[in-house]
Each structure stands twice: as structure tokens, then as C-alpha cells.
Structure 1
Amino acid sequence: MTNKVAVAAAFLSRTNELGYNLQQSCSHILSFCESTALRSGLHIHSPVIKLDLLENLDLCNNLLSLYSKTDGIWNARKLFDEMPRKTVFAWTVMITAYTKSQELGSAVSLFEEMIASGTRPNEFTFSSVIRSCVGLRDLNYGARVHGSVIKTGFEGNSVIGSSLTDLYSKCGQIKEARELFSSLQNADTISWTMMISSLVEARKWREALQFFSEMIEAGVPPNEFTFVKLLGASSFLGLEFGKMIHSNIIVRGIPLNVVLKTSLVDFYSRFSEMGDAVRVLNSCGEPDVFLWTSAVSGFARNLRAEEAVATFLDMQGLGLQPNNFTYSAILSLCSSVRSLDLGKQIHSQTIKAGLEDSTDVGNALVDMYMKCSASEVEASRVFRAMIWPNVVSWTTLIIGLVDHGFERDCFGLLMEMVTQGVEPNVVTLCGVLRACSKLKYIRQISEIHGYLLRRHIDGDIIVANSLVDAYASSSKVDYAWNMTRSMDRRDDITYTSLVTRFNELGKHDMAISVISHMCVDGIRLDQFSLPGFISGSANLGALETGKHLHCYSVKSGLSSADSVLNGLVDMYSKCGSLEDAKKVFEEIARPDVVSWNGLVSGLASNGCISSALSAFEDMRMKGTEPDSVTFLILLSACSNGRLTEMGLEYFRSMKEIHNIEPQIEHYAHLVGILGRAGRLEEATGVVETMPLKPNALIFKTLLRACRYHRNLSLGEDMANKGLVLAPFDPAFYILLADLYDESGKPELAQKTRNLMTEKGLSKKQGQSSLEIQGKVHSFVSEDATTVDKTNGIYAEIDWIKSEIERSGYTYRSIKNASYHSAKQAAVFGLVYTSPQTPVHVVKNKIMCKDCHDFVSHMTRLVDKKITVRDGNRVHMFNNGECSCKGDETSFVSS
């Protein structure tokens, strides 16, 4: 019996020794695999389970750590849940794994479970969970963790302190972050670098540099990562700051590793110092993909296409395989320089490199095809082939469709995007709002506005500006103003958008009023907003306001901007001050086609036809190619000047010499030129043979010529065809009725006017305005029997009529034109300006013959220059003469 017991004891002893040795062997293997991240070490898990060794904490902890590093977080969590006992090490490993995998919410939840289990966190646990709070930007929970740190006695720990400093700074609490950092004991290089990094990310670049100075004073040596962060700050502070940092790197003997070299290349390329960037690149011993990609990106960013491609090829020649960032950079360059051929070659290379599934490359390809191709088909094909399109992918496609004129497709795409779980960002919604602006879709604008309110992102100034622009462009002026007032902050883009849209809507007085709102907000006029205000002054005929804006442009240093000078040329021309317009034009250093068009148009509209055509020849001699707008101006000038053959020659030269395809507006002017010359048969032939489908404007132009030449049968035909296209355009009824009157058919004229009344149509109300002492006064045409004449203007008109008759001038006043707005404005200017001050009137319609004769005779009675700019041209009256030479096609009958 005793022998049996002894044998059994010996057997158990050997078994225990074997088990202990096996545990030790497993621990050694796991430690080695864990340190080198060898996935093969996971095979230890099977014998651990079979031998029931899960109670061994060292084995389980090492196995858990290996799972988290090599096999994904899901299997690590499975092992963690199976562990019978969990040490602080196990909890920390799991929380850290979640943090590194960016599953930040799970990290915080697991930390909560750890606290509930009674396990006391260590400094590494706190550091990981705080980093999760940083990623979540959850300051409230981070502050609670901070409280736990204090309670558990880790307050002075540098690792935790650095993490807390990072949390407070990235959540915008810079003051608290600095105070916390100051309380750290023996802050090391990592702690200082993390604080500098936080300041850079918070866009506190000068504070970051100041902190670096304090770091040096404290005797803490910076490392390469410190300088990487400082170079990031220097990219915003300026070239000299970056050079100073580079000098520090050299003086301190900091080794130029790949990360630091890449940062230097990127920094120099941001300031177009590609020579320095290349020198840094060439100093690299071993070639690196990221470093060379930074150089390629630098050349691409600076639009140095040949050097970017050459660097890209050199990179491949060194045996480096370009990555998704390299290809994205080259494709971005293709988009910028509009090189479709190069883009297609790069596309084929990405396929060969197996990067067709890369979202970054796919996004760059969609952008390239949208910007370089005349069609959206290829971009859509690339997008549909993408496996994981992100918000950038969808946004790029939507904006591209808007640019290609497929605005309606954007709304379905937005719905599809949301359905697939991709949240639109501010840029996406701004693109859709731009589509709404083009289509005047008020309902969709309101829906997007509501979506933004629900998401609490309506306060973002970029999207708020887009809403202002969308409402204003859709004629919802009150909505635009309300949106502007509701904004926490407004900028120059806000007001530039308003003034631009108000001018487009013809609300020029409202456009000029925007200036006072800008002044209240302390926003200065710039080269983008100032031309809008000058344009408003030009269209109102507000010469005095325009001159004030001219003075402002000189004082503010904006007078050299082409956009401002072009606007001033237009303003002075429209206000009849041709000499001033010419002087401003001469100040333009390199006049482009827009500048020349402004000068030619100004001369032509003021009746200086020969000077306008001479300016066009000067433009060509100085090497500026005309565009389609130039020919619209020339054809209009030839029409007004009755230069028929010259107008025909200009039209022919568009395609034959300048390779410009005539548009419908050019054909309308051609028809007008032939119509004025009485060549109605040729004009009709143009309409019938032109390659474009005639629109209402074409038929209206020919109908006006028929009225002038009293061609009743052709006029009726043109009116019928025009009304098919624009049945609610009153101009057709008015012109046809006038044609019947002048053809001796008053009953048909009355019938036409009755039909117009039955359809609820009426003439556009005549409105005229003029500026006196900086204030714009507006007048409308009214029935004399129903208007209160307290201002005395009607009495003044009647008195001037009697003086004209008493002086023996032939003037037959038409009863229904007695008090037209042009007469009111001209007489108001005569009464309320000094004798030496010219009167400049702006009228929204073509001037009628009655008003034309009245103003002409008025300048015979008084020594006063009066100009009236109507919807057709500028009439300059002086001593009974007009610049239009009494051409009856320059005004309407009544």
C-alpha cells in the first residue's frame, strides 16, 4: 500500500513539473511572438484551453495582447470575455486596442465596465481612455476621467498629463491645457511635443512657436517629431519661420529621417520653393514612397506639370511603386491643367497597380473626368465602379453634375447618398444649393434649410452664405435678408453674393444699400464686392455714387484690379461720361477681352459708332482675340449705325476667321440689321435657314422691322409664330397693334389690344430714375387724372409744353404719354440741379417718340445737357439735337 502511494506521489510530482514547464514554455513563446507581432503565436491558444491553463494570468494576458496586435479586435474581445479573472493589464490592453482601432465609443464603454468591476485603472488605462475622448471631442466625459485621475493619485503623471493636455487643447480649452501642462512634473520631450502638436491643430500657430521657445529655455531637447509639428505651423506663418525651423534642425544635429524630410519637402512646396524641396529630396539616402509622393504633390500643387510628371517617372525609375496618394496628386494636377489625355494614362496605370478599388484614387478620377471631359459619362462610370464611395466621392460627383448642367440629377443623387448611409457634409449641401439656385427651386432650398436647422449646422458660414445666395438668386429677397440677419457672423462673401444677385434681379438701389450693412459689420469692400457696387451705380445712372466708389478704389489700393477698372469703364460709359471712361481704360495695364468689350460697348451705346469700330480694330492690332460678346456689341453697333454691309461682314468673320459659332443672340442682331435696312426677305431667309431653332426674340425682332417698314402680311406671320413660343409676352400684341394702326387698320389694332387685356397682359410699367446729390429718385408712368400732383412735376411738364408751343417749335403731344416717367425724371433734374450740372436719366424701357421729342425741345429752351439711357441705347440731348439723329428705330411710337 505504501509503495503505491509513493508511486502515485512521484507521478503527480512529475506531472506538475511537466505542466509548470509547459506553462513556462508557452509564456516564453507568447512573449516572443507578442514582442515581434508574430501571428503564429496564436497556436498556443489551443493547448492553453486543452490543459485548462486559462487561470494562468500571464499566459492569458500575453495571448490577449497578441490577439489585439495581430488578429483583429473581435477575437481579442472574445478571449477577454472568456478570461475567468481580468487584471488591470487585460482591461488596459482591450481599451487600448479599441482606441487604436478608432472604436472610441467601445473604448469608453469598456472603461465604464472596468470601473464597475472594481478594477483600479493605471496610468496607461487612463491615457488610452483620454485619447478616446480626444477622438470623440467629448470634453465632458474627459473632464470626468480627469476627476478620476485626481482621485486615484495620478495627477502628476506625465503620460496622463500629456493626454489630458491634448484633450483640453483639441476641445478648444487652450488656457486649461496650458495650466495643466504647467502642473506636470518633469515634462519630457514627448509631453512638450504633444502640447505643441495640440496648439498647431487648434490653429494657434504663434503660440506653438512660443511654446517651442519655452521648451528650449526649459532645457528639454526637441526631437524630429517636434520639428515636424513646427513645420506644420510654419506652413501658415510664413516662409521665414519655416527656414528658421530648418536652421534649428541643422544646428541641433537632428537626424533627417524620412518623416522629417517629407515635412520639409511639403513645407517648401507650399511656398513654391521647389528648388529647396528638391534639395531635401536629393539628400535622402534610401528612396521612400511617401517622400517622393510629397515632391510630386508639391510640383502638382504649384501647377508645374512637366516637373511633376518627370518626378513621378523618376520615382518609378528608382523602383518605387507609386501609392494611392501619388496617383491622386497626379490626377489632381490633370484636373487643374485640364489634361484629359494624361488623366487617362494615369487611370490605366492605377488599374495595372491594382488601385482601382482605392477610394482616394476613385475620387481623384471622378474629379478629373468631370473637369477635363465634355461629358459626365466617364466620371459616372468610375463612380459606379467604386466599392466604398465616401462623402467626398458623392460630393465630387454632385458638384461635377452641377458644373455640367445636370442640376436636376443632383437631387436624386443626394437621396441615393442618404439612403446608402452616407451623411452629406457642408460642401455637398452647398453644391446642391447651387443647383437649386440655377433652377430657382424654392421648395428644395427650404427643405435643405430645414435639414440644416435640424442638424444644427446652419451656423456654418459657408453653408449660410450658400443659403443667402440660393434665396437671392431665386428672387426671394426677403428670405435672403432674413438669412443674412440670422447669421452669427457675416463676411465679404455674404455681401458680395447679395450685391451680385440684387444686380441680376435689377434691384440696383438695393444692391448699393448693401454698402451700409458692410460698414456696420466692419467689412471692407474688396476687389470682388466693389465691382458689384460699381455695377449697381452704373445701372442706376448714379454717377456721383460711382465717383465716390472710384475714389474709394484709389484710396484702398484697389484701383489697379482689372475687375474694378473694367467696372468703372462700364459705369462711366453708362452714365454718359465717355472721357472719364477712356481715362480709366488707359489705366488698365494689360486690357483683356472684357476690358476692350467694355470700351467698345460704351462708345457704341453712346452713339460713337465709328469710334467703337475703331477701338475694335485697336483691340485686334494689340493681339486680343474677340469673343462672342465682342460680336454681339459689334452687331448691335452696326444695327444702330445702319452699317448693314459691315454688320454682315462681322457676322461672316465670326466663324470663318475667329472660329466662333454664332448663337441665337447673334442671329437676332443679324435679323435686326437686315430688318432696319428694309431687307425683310433676306431677314426671313436667315430665320428659315439658321442652324438653331428660332426663339421668340428672333420673331419679335423681325416683327419690329415689319412695323417700321409697314409690312403687314409678314408682320402678322411673325407675330403668330412668336406667340406660339411666348403666348404671354405683351410685346407681340403691342407691336402688332402698332403695325395695324400704321397700316390703316384701327379696328384690328383695337381688337389686338382687347385680346391682350382679356389675357390679363399689360405693358411693362415705365420707370425712370436719376441721381441728385447722392440720392436716387425714381418715377413711374401714371395716368394724369388719378395722380396727386403735389410735387409739382406735372405742372412743370405742362408749363414746358406751353413754352415749346409758344416758341413756335413743332411738337404734337400724345395724350396717353403726357406724363411718362422719362419726362418726369428729366424735368425733376432740370428743376433740382444747378444750370451747369448735366442730367442723366435711366429708363427701364425703350424711350417713346413723344418723350424723345419733349426732351429734345426742352434742351432748346434751356442750356442743359440731358442724357437718357433706355433699354436700347444712350440718347444724348443738347440744344435740340440727339445723338441718335432722330432715327425712328431708336424709339417706340408711344
Structure 2
Amino acid sequence: MTMMSPPPSPSPSPSLHVGHHHPSPPLLHLTTTITNSQHRTHRLVSPSTNSRTNSTPNTQSPSNSPLHFQLSANNNLYHWNALISKYTKNNLCYEAILAFQHFLQTDHTPDNFTLPCVIKSCIGIQDLGTGLAVHGIAVKLGLISDVYISNALVTMYGKFGYLEDAVKVFDEMPQRNLVTWNSLILGLLENGCFRESIDVFVELLVSEDDLIPDVVTLVTLLPVCGDEKDVLVGRMMQSLAVKLGLYCDTMVQNALMDMYLKCGCMVEAGMILDRNENKNVVSWNSIILGCSKEGEVEQTFQLLRNMQSGRNSVKPDQVTVLNVLKVCLHCSQLLKVKELHGYSIRHGVECDQFVANAFIAAYARCECGSSLCLAENVFNIMKDTSSSSWNALISGYAQNGNPLKAIDLFVKMISLGFKPDWYSIGSLLLACTELKLLRYGKEAHGYVIRNGLETDLHITNSLLSFYIQCEKPLSAKIMFDGLKNKNLVSWNAMITGYSQQKQANEALNLFRTLVSSGIQPNEISVTSVISACTQLCSIRLGKSVHCYTLKNSFTTDIFVNSSIIDMYSKTGCIEASQNVFNQSDKNHIGLWTNLIAAYGIHGNGNEAMKLFYEMQRLNMKPDHFTFISILMACNHGGLVKEGLKIFNEMQTIHGVMPKLEHYACLIDMLGRARRFDDAMLLINEMPEEPDARIWSSLLSSCRVHGNMELGKKVADKLLQLDPNKAENYVLSSNLFASFSKWDDVRIMRQRMKKLKLKKEVGCSWIEFEGKVYNFFAGDKALPDIHDMWRKLENDITRRGYKPETKCVLHELTEDEKVDILRGHSEKLAVSFGLLRARKGVTLRIFKNLRICEDCHNAIKLVSKAVDREIIVRDNKRFHHFRCGHCSCGEYW
């Protein structure tokens, strides 16, 4: 048999490898070796550190123990073996080895019963030194050929990762039994040598030992076939089980079912369950867990019902409930969590701490106010809460809209003596981030430092996210630069933070540093940097990152592909978005939602509608975000009738309750269509109070359609609700200016000045040869560009262009207004593009504000005059100008 190189050894004495065959020392010397090893082991294995080996050391020495006390000095070999065996069977490994030490000082000689017990105890407390010494004793006494001793040694070397020595002992055995083969196979599997273990299994089948694999062999190998997703080997095992008459064994069937579930073969797993006539709770738990992991909600609950029906019903246990809860966590459906909770109570499933904590987490994850109350109810009736219980509740409140409650719970947890861990501190920092409570977050940072927790990377990464999300990027950068052992999560916290805080260039630069440092980015890193490219509206950078994802096989990830679709759509390449969608796995709702949104912002509402109904035909259920996307698409496309129909179906057919975002889409849609009465009726019937976003969109529609009466009321509402936002005063001022209410305009501007608010200056930009060129409204220092626009203006005037001076909301003469219109930023950007770009190349212009009616009409005519496509993205949507027409159909 081929010997493999051993992994890094946990042993303190690697020089004692059996494979080197050191001369066997006398027994008295070995006694000293064992004693010295025991002194080391006793220091390492204490009541507080021994949980890892499941050995609970007894502080009594064997000479003081009750069992040993009954033995006289004339105890024979049988009594010593009984004592050592008793200690070993009761997992008192340290005491067993001490008893063996005393035994060696007698006139008795250990036999093939003594040594396997001692070797097992060496494994129990991870004392390889003593195990090596026992190996030497076996060699000295000529017992090494005994199959029981050799089996124990094979197991020991496998457990310690010394595979070369395990194989050497195995090869030198004159006689092997099935335990020998099973021990070597298990040792190889535990050290990650799956293929080698299969080779050994094949050798077993053809060996001269004339042995037949048993249940233990199959049950040892099948779970690893599942872990390795090797369904072919698993099927071979199934065929062998049938041939050997082992297929009907419940343990084998459970292992086969588990293997198929891990390989994603739900049908085969179900067939094994159906044929199993002796299903036990393990059988049902396995199939339920597999189904739960697949996200099959109804099927998982049906299996739970089937479990207790029929002649061979099985009572669910805590594991059953925990497995079903996994699918509830996946779908975050409150009704299903409540159904399972009631089921577990009715069927007498003990609600221990693990189950209670899981229910708290499940309730807390459901995005519903009442679900948090239910989580707290479970928490309050618990007899013994733990840090995990507190963590689940705190996390629920922090993530679901009640960060103040999360902070209160954290304070209460500490006051009751519970010590917060990385999870609870992370939830606290998340709550502080939501509320932008910099002081509280700094206090948490102080607590971390005082309690020596700053070396915990989980906490450090939470602090990085906190500082950068609270707009303290410099503090985050100083902390990040000072980290000695930063991991990928640390890098992602910074890159994601920069991206979310609209610091796209910093995110890109840090991503470049990450890649150059040799650390492999993951899907989170890539998704964040794609978002940064989207913010910069840089098609060049976006394509570069897309190429990176293709080269590094990230495009199999749904979230990466969704981000790429979004990036291309927001940089004006809707065709590229469609191509990425076509090449992706379409079984994820996020891809459909993003493509629907893409067509929406490009004004192609009909295509968005086709996608919306096509996904339903393919049994894809639209969610909260899908309905936002399709309603926005209807809004931009002027599909009011269709939008109202979908809004109604959202509740009646799909069971999705509308939130503020859905109402905002619908009210904006009605306002753009001049249906102000319907918009106000909907506002009055809403279950929630309208926010500033809703009033802002309605005010904008009032200005566009000249509804001064309603507009004045809406402006008052908006300024009461959000009096510190400059945009709200600008919208109100523009309404008054459109009706020449100059006194009211001056009042708005005075209020802005008093509050030190500034109007956002119009800015447009265009990317050319790898550089981004910015243009600001009214910039006079660009003579060649202004000359270019004058030429274009003369051309389009012959084609019917007339300046829309009503777009200039200032008290000026007509000539002054025309001059201001010429200086609009998008006109400057178009002129620059026509001066620099090659003939026929599509111009892509991006603007921070909504395009005005005059620029829209002018650029539409320019596209025909120069025979070139011009794409303009303002802060609302895209306009594709071709041959004197716009994709918006004059509806924007």
C-alpha cells in the first residue's frame, strides 16, 4: 500500500514515529517515559480545557479511587485489566493511564487486553507521547502482531494525522480483520484523504483476507461521498449494499439518503425513504433537513406531517424542529414559523434552550412588527436564557427597524451579568450604525479595548463597518491600516463601506490594492466594486470588472450577475444587460427583478411587462422588490392602467402587502398622468403616513402640469416634514416661479439662505478615452464648446427648434433666459462629445439633475442633425435620442 506524507503533527514528539523503528527501551524506562508524558498531559488536560476530548478527568489518583482501593497488593492481571478497562469505558482516560503506570511497577506483564485500552485512553486525551511508548512496549513484548493491539495503533495514528505510521502498522500486520480495514479507512477520511480511502476500500474488496464490508464500512464512507458530491461512488456503495444484503439496514438507508441529499438528488433520497420500512427519527430528520436546505417550504412541512401519520409514525424531536426551522429562516414567512411553533407545542417537543433560541431567531428574522413581539414572548418564557438567546433577540431588533430597542436590550444583558461576545457587539454596532449614533459606537469601541477584545477580527470588522457607515472613513482607514491580521472580511467592510457611502474611487483603489496583495476577492468584494463602477457611470471600468469576473469564475454567482445587469443598465447598455441575463441561471428572482428595473429606467415598459409575466409562467414568484421594479417600469412608460392592475394583483393574487415604496411608485405614476384626485385619494387611504419622497414626487408633477392649488398644499406638507433639505425648497420655488409668483420665490430663497442650504448645481459628465470630463451649468470658460453649440443651435433652429424659456425659473428678459439655456450642462457635454468622439460613436451623457424640456427638445433634434445616437441619463431615467426621436415618447 502506498504511504502518504503526514500532515503537520500535533504531537510533541515527532521523532518517535513508529515508521523509524527506534530500539525498544526496557519496561522501566518506558514507565518513566509514560510518567513524564503524564506530567505534561496533566498540565494540559484540566477540567476547564478537557471538553474538546469529552474526557472528564478525575482529580483522584487511581490509588485513592474506590475501585482501586478494593484491590490489594496481590491483585492479579485480571484485576488490573478490569481497573484500566473500567476507567477507559467511563472516559476517565487520564486515570486509566495513571493506573497503567502503577501497573508497570508490579511484577505483572501487560497483555493484548491491557494495551488496547491504554491506547484508546491516549487518543481520548490526545497524548501521542504515551501512545508511542505503549507502541514500544507492544514491540518489546512481542505483542505487535496481535490484531487488537495493531487495530488500536492504526486508529491512534489516524486520529493524530500520522498516516504514514498508520499505513505501516497496517501493512506489517500478519492478520487483519474488518475492524483493521475500517480503522484505516476512517483515519484517511478524517484527514481529508477521500480518494485514498476509496482505494483502500477497493483493496478490501479484492484482498486475500476474504473479508466482506459491513454496515460500519458503508456508513463510514457514504457521508463523505455526500460531502465530496461524488454521487457515482455513492451509487456504487448502494449497489454493493444490495448485493451484500445490507440495504435493508436502517443505518445504511439513512446514510444513503443523507448522501443523495448532499448531492442534491432529492428524488433518489425520497425513493429510499419510501422503501424504508423501519424509518426512525434519524431517517425523517435527514430528508427534512435536505428538503429544508433546498428552500422547499411546503414540501418540508408536508414531510413533517407525514412523519406522524400512518402505521409507522415517528415522534419528532428537537432536531426535527430545528431542521424545519431552517426553511422558515430561509423564507422568513411569519405564518410558517407560527405554524411550526404551534406544532412543536401540540406534539410535546421539548422546547430546550437550542429550540427556543432558534424560534427567537426565526421570529426576529421575519420582517414584521408583530414577529419581534413573538420573539420576545419566547424569550420571556424561557427558564434559562443564555448569551445566544440575548444575541438572537438583539440581532432581530437591530436588523428589523428597531435599533433603539436593540441598544436597550444590550445594556440590560450586561446589567444581568451576561458577557457580550463578537455577535452581540456586532449587533450593537449595527444598531448604532442605523441611528448614526457615533457616540454610542465609540463607547462600544472603548468597551472592546477595555476588555481586550480588539484582537477579535469579527469585532474589528464590525467597527470598520460602523465608522465608515457613520461617515467617518478616515477613522475606519486608520483602524484598517493598523490591522496586522486583516482578513477578506476586513477588506470587504472597507470596499463595501466606500461604495455605499458614494466614495466610488476609494472603493476601486482599495479593490486594486486587494488584488495586487495576492488575496483572492470573493463575491462580496466583486459586487461592491461593480456598484462603484455603476456610481461612476463608467462603462470602461464596468467592462474591466466584468472581464475580471469572467476570468475568475464569479459569473456563476447570482448576486454578481445581478450587479452586472444593474451596472450595464445604468451605464446605458441595456443590450449588455440582456446578454448577461441570457447567459445566467434564471432560477433566481433577483435577476428578473434587475432586468425588469433596467427596461423600466430605459423607458421600455412593454418589455418589462413581458418579463414580469414570463417569470410567472416559469413559476417564479415575484417578491417585494419585483413589484417595485415593475411599478417603476409602468411609471416611466406611462402604463397607468397596467400599473394599477399590477398593484391590485400584488395583494389579491400574490399576497404581497404594499409598503411605502410601492405607494410612492403608484402616486408618482398618477401624478405624472395628471390624475391628482386619484393620487390624493390613495394618499388618504394609505395605512402609513406618506414620507417626503411621496410629497416631493407629487409636487414635481404639480409643477409640470401647472396645478398651483394642490402644489401649494403639497409644498407646505413637504417643508413641514423635511425642512432641512435644499431640494424641497428648490421644488417649491420652481412651482411658484412657473406661475410668476416671484414674491413667494424670494421667500423660499431667503429661507434657504437662513438655513445655509445651497441648491445643487447642474452637472453633466462624459467619459472619453479613459477620462471623465465634468461640465457645470453656466461655465463660460469653454469658448470652443460654446461655439460648437451655437453651430448646432443654428442647425436645429432650421429644423424647428424654439428655446423653451419657461424652463428658466428666474425673473429675467427673454434674451437672458435664452443665454442661460445655452449654458445648461448637458448641452456643453454633448458639444464636447461631438468635438472629440469619432463619427458615429454613441455619446453617453450623465446628469445629476432632471433634464429640462428645452434640453430634451434640443438634443432630440441634434441626434437627427448629426446622425448619431445620444444617450442621456438624468437622475430619473434614460433618454435614448435617435433620428430626432426619444425613447421616452415625450413622457418623463
TM-score bucket (shorter structure):
0.5 to 0.7
- The residue number in structure 2 matching 1:235 is 226
SS in 2 for 1:840: strand
CA distance in 2 between counterparts of 1:725 and 1:659 reads 31
* TM-score normalized with structure 2 length: 0.68
Asked if 1:266 is matched to 2:263, the reply is no
Q: Which amino acid aligns with 2:192?
A: R
CA positional deviation for 1:869: 0.2
Q: Deviations over 1:731-770 (max 9, x none)?
A: 1222233344444454553453243233232233554443
Structure 1: stretches of 5+ with no match in the other structure? 1-70, 135-141
Deviates more, 1:330-339 or 1:733-742: 330-339
- The residue number in structure 1 matching 2:14 is none
Alignment of 1:849-888 (within 5 A): 855=859, 862-877=866-881
Alignment of 1:714-753 (within 5 A): 715-746=711-742, 748-753=744-749
CA distance in 1 between counterparts of 2:750 and 2:657 reads 42
On the 8 A contact 2:154/2:184 being kept in 1, the answer is yes
Q: Deviations over 1:32-61 (max 9, x none)?
A: xxxxxxxxxxxxxxxxxxxxxxxxxxxxxx
Q: Deviations over 1:396-417 (max 9, x none)?
A: 5555556655555555656777
Aligned mate of 2:776, from 781, 798, 821: 781
Q: Deviations over 1:588-630 (max 9, x none)?
A: 8969876666566545544556776787788889998776666
Deviates more, 1:277-286 or 1:695-704: 277-286
On the 8 A contact 2:464/2:493 being kept in 1, the answer is yes
Q: Deviations over 1:377-408 (max 9, x none)?
A: 44444444444556765665555556655555
Asked if 1:356 is matched to 2:350, the reply is yes
Q: Deviations over 1:403-441 (max 9, x none)?
A: 655555555656777788888777777777766665666
Q: Which amino acid aligns with 1:698?
A: I
Aligned length: 793
- The residue number in structure 1 matching 2:811 is none
Deviates more, 1:365-374 or 1:866-875: 365-374
Q: Report the CA distance shift for 1:583/1:743 in structure 2 as closer, same or farther (over 3 A).
A: same
Q: Deviations over 1:455-503 (max 9, x none)?
A: 697468xx88877776766666674897599697967x88888777665
Q: Report the CA distance shift for 1:743/1:551 in structure 2 as closer, same or farther (over 3 A).
A: same
Identity of aligned residues (%): 24
CA distance in 1 between counterparts of 2:420 and 2:411 reads 10
Asked if 1:798 is matched to 2:786, the reply is yes
SS in 2 for 1:762: coil
CA positional deviation for 1:864: 3.7
* TM-score normalized with structure 1 length: 0.68
- The residue number in structure 2 matching 1:846 is 850
Asked if 1:206 is matched to 2:195, the reply is yes
CA distance in 2 between counterparts of 1:709 and 1:664 reads 24
Q: Report the CA distance shift for 1:254/1:678 in structure 2 as closer, same or farther (over 3 A).
A: closer
- The residue number in structure 1 matching 2:697 is 701
Q: Deviations over 1:135-179 (max 9, x none)?
A: xxxxxxx35545765897889868888778767765666667767
Q: Report the CA distance shift for 1:508/1:100 in structure 2 as closer, same or farther (over 3 A).
A: farther
Q: Which amino acid aligns with 1:242?
A: G
Q: Report the CA distance shift for 1:274/1:886 in structure 2 as closer, same or farther (over 3 A).
A: closer
CA positional deviation for 1:696: 1.5
CA positional deviation for 1:688: 4.8
SS in 1 for 2:371: coil
Q: Which amino acid aligns with 1:777?
A: V
Aligned mate of 1:826, from 830, 854, 862: 830
CA distance in 1 between counterparts of 2:260 and 2:714 reads 66
SS in 2 for 1:700: helix
Q: Report the CA distance shift for 1:185/1:727 in structure 2 as closer, same or farther (over 3 A).
A: farther
Deviates more, 1:356-365 or 1:168-177: 168-177
- The residue number in structure 2 matching 1:692 is 688
Asked if 1:346 is matched to 2:346, the reply is no
Deviates more, 1:672-681 or 1:862-871: 672-681
- The residue number in structure 2 matching 1:127 is 119
CA positional deviation for 1:102: 6.9
CA positional deviation for 1:837: 0.5
CA distance in 2 between counterparts of 1:412 and 1:103 reads 45
On the 8 A contact 1:856/1:879 being kept in 2, the answer is yes
Q: Report the CA distance shift for 1:133/1:510 in structure 2 as closer, same or farther (over 3 A).
A: same
CA distance in 2 between counterparts of 1:594 and 1:274 reads 25
Q: Which amino acid aligns with 2:787?
A: W
CA positional deviation for 1:72: 12
Q: Report the CA distance shift for 1:161/1:368 in structure 2 as closer, same or farther (over 3 A).
A: farther
Q: Which amino acid aligns with 2:730?
A: I
Q: Report the CA distance shift for 1:333/1:675 in structure 2 as closer, same or farther (over 3 A).
A: closer
- The residue number in structure 2 matching 1:33 is none
Q: Report the CA distance shift for 1:731/1:343 in structure 2 as closer, same or farther (over 3 A).
A: same
On the 8 A contact 1:76/1:94 being kept in 2, the answer is no
- The residue number in structure 2 matching 1:51 is none
Q: Report the CA distance shift for 1:415/1:99 in structure 2 as closer, same or farther (over 3 A).
A: farther
Q: Report the CA distance shift for 1:116/1:843 in structure 2 as closer, same or farther (over 3 A).
A: farther
Query: Bigger relative contact order, structure 1 or 2, given CA contacts below 8 A and separation 6+?
Result: 2
CA distance in 2 between counterparts of 1:633 and 1:591 reads 18
Higher-Rg member (1/2): 1
Q: Deviations over 1:621-677 (max 9, x none)?
A: 999877666665666567666777777777677667876655434444555455556
Asked if 1:308 is matched to 2:318, the reply is no
On the 8 A contact 1:73/1:97 being kept in 2, the answer is no
SS in 1 for 2:871: strand
On the 8 A contact 2:599/2:633 being kept in 1, the answer is no
On the 8 A contact 1:707/1:715 being kept in 2, the answer is yes
CA distance in 2 between counterparts of 1:617 and 1:638 reads 14
CA distance in 2 between counterparts of 1:318 and 1:504 reads 55
CA positional deviation for 1:729: 0.5
Q: Report the CA distance shift for 1:820/1:805 in structure 2 as closer, same or farther (over 3 A).
A: closer
Asked if 1:836 is matched to 2:837, the reply is no
CA distance in 2 between counterparts of 1:656 and 1:308 reads 29
- The residue number in structure 2 matching 1:755 is 751
Q: Deviations over 1:569-590 (max 9, x none)?
A: 6555544455666677777896
SS in 2 for 1:693: coil
On the 8 A contact 1:877/1:883 being kept in 2, the answer is yes
Q: Which amino acid aligns with 2:123?
A: R
CA distance in 1 between counterparts of 2:677 and 2:430 reads 45
On the 8 A contact 1:468/1:481 being kept in 2, the answer is no
CA distance in 1 between counterparts of 2:649 and 2:268 reads 51
Aligned mate of 2:186, from 172, 184, 197: 197
SS in 2 for 1:203: coil
CA distance in 2 between counterparts of 1:875 and 1:340 reads 46
On the 8 A contact 1:436/1:444 being kept in 2, the answer is yes
Q: Which amino acid aligns with 2:221?
A: L
